[in-house]
Amino acid sequence: MITLQSICFAYPDGTNVFEDFSWEVGSGEAWAVLGPSGCGKTTLLYLLAALRHPTAGEIRISGEPLFKPRPRTGLILQDYGLLPWATVRENVALGLRLRRFYGPDGVHSPADERIPELADRIDPWLERLALLSIAESYPAQISGGQRQRTAIARTLALDPDLLLMDEPFASLDAPTREGLQALTIELRNERGLTTVIVTHAIEEAALLGRRILLLGMIPNTSAMVYDNPGATHSTYRDTSEYASMCAQLRRAMEAIA
């Protein structure tokens, strides 16, 4: 689904993050992107979202060159990105309202999409993510886990085929984080989503990534990939295979440092 072919990317100050870097993600695959601080994890995610652009090389998604954000790419940020003056329901509906405004133009909305009544698309996600009881509350009135579930509901209501997540659970307490990790695995398995999750936590990468991309110190020139086929359910964290994968990734991280 995703192909990065010999891409280069540098910041205006001359910091070179990627140099002749290639990587492929198959449709329906679950990837975690791991690496030390400053290695380019978030930069890579923004390149996939077309919020930044390579200075050389090419990115293709579903065979099409990526020049601008795709309507079917969902992006979930660490700070949730919720409008503080809008209720949970209004935040979940935001993307669909924008699509309805622009129509199926192939830019802001998929060209073949026909948006039903907003409630028909929104209410099932509010119910599924346990948000119905707080649907008329504002972000400041709900917990961090509820804000993150609101961001997830807003994204899934748009029916993406690619889900990008930037350290989505980093600021949450352990029980809430584990619950949302389990929810992410469940939704991914149900919908066959292609997922790319950036994380700084070895344990989270080993739980959520069936394949793990380890980035090194910049500039990154090659993709270091670890296969982790057991990461299909939240109980994987209780297995010896999970512990072994965590240990392998930890050794690799230490070698980078």
* pLDDT over 90 at 10, yes or no: yes
Judged on CB neighbours under 10 Å (0-12, 13-18, 19+), 205 is buried
Which tokens sit at 8? 């280069």
Please compute the mean of the pLDDT values over residues 101-113 and round it to a whole number: 70
Q: 160: helix, coil or strand?
A: coil
What pLDDT was estimated at residue 14?
86
How would residue 106 be classed by pLDDT, with cut points 50, 70 and 90? Answer: low
**C-alpha dist (Å) from residue 193 to 46, 77, 189, 190, 222:** 18, 17, 7, 8, 25
Q: Strands 162-166 and 194-198, how do they pair?
A: parallel
How would residue 172 be classed by pLDDT, with cut points 50, 70 and 90? Answer: confident
Phi, psi of 117 (to 5 degrees): -55, 135
CA distance 97 to 211: 35
- The reported pTM is 0.93
Share of the chain above pLDDT 90, in %: 73
User: What are the residue boundaries of the structural domains of the chain, listed by start?
Assistant: 79-159
Residue 62 — left, alpha, or beta (φ > 0 → left; ψ -120 to 50 → alpha)? left
User: Which position has the higher pLDDT, 209 or 78?
Assistant: 209
User: Which of 28-42, 67-81, 103-117, 184-198 shows the lowest mean pLDDT across its residues?
Assistant: 103-117
Per residue in 59-104, pLDDT tens? 999 999 999 999 999 999 887 889 999 999 999 999 888 888 767 7
How would residue 234 be classed by pLDDT, with cut points 50, 70 and 90? Answer: confident
* pLDDT over 70 at 236, yes or no: yes
Residue 61 — left, alpha, or beta (φ > 0 → left; ψ -120 to 50 → alpha)? beta
Which tokens sit at 65? 């060159």
Q: 166: helix, coil or strand?
A: strand
What pLDDT was estimated at residue 232?
83
How would residue 257 be classed by pLDDT, with cut points 50, 70 and 90? Answer: low
What pLDDT was estimated at residue 20?
97
Q: Which residues 6+ apart lie within 8 Å of 177 measured at CB?
A: 169
How many residues can be counted in the chain? 257
Please compute the mean of the pLDDT values over residues 243-248 and round it to a whole number: 97
Mean pLDDT (the chain, rounded): 92
For residue 188, the tally of other CB atoms under 10 A from its CB is: 19
How would residue 117 be classed by pLDDT, with cut points 50, 70 and 90? Answer: confident
What pLDDT was estimated at residue 171?
80
Bond from prior residue into 219 cis (ω within 30 degrees of 0) = yes
Q: What single-letter amino acid sits at 18?
A: F
Considering only CA atoms, which of 193, 3, 55 is closest in space to residue 183? Answer: 193
CA distance 128 to 119: 14
For 95-246, strand residue ranges (E) read: 162-166, 194-198, 211-214, 224-227
User: Which position has the higher pLDDT, 101 or 10?
Assistant: 10
How would residue 57 be classed by pLDDT, with cut points 50, 70 and 90? Answer: very high
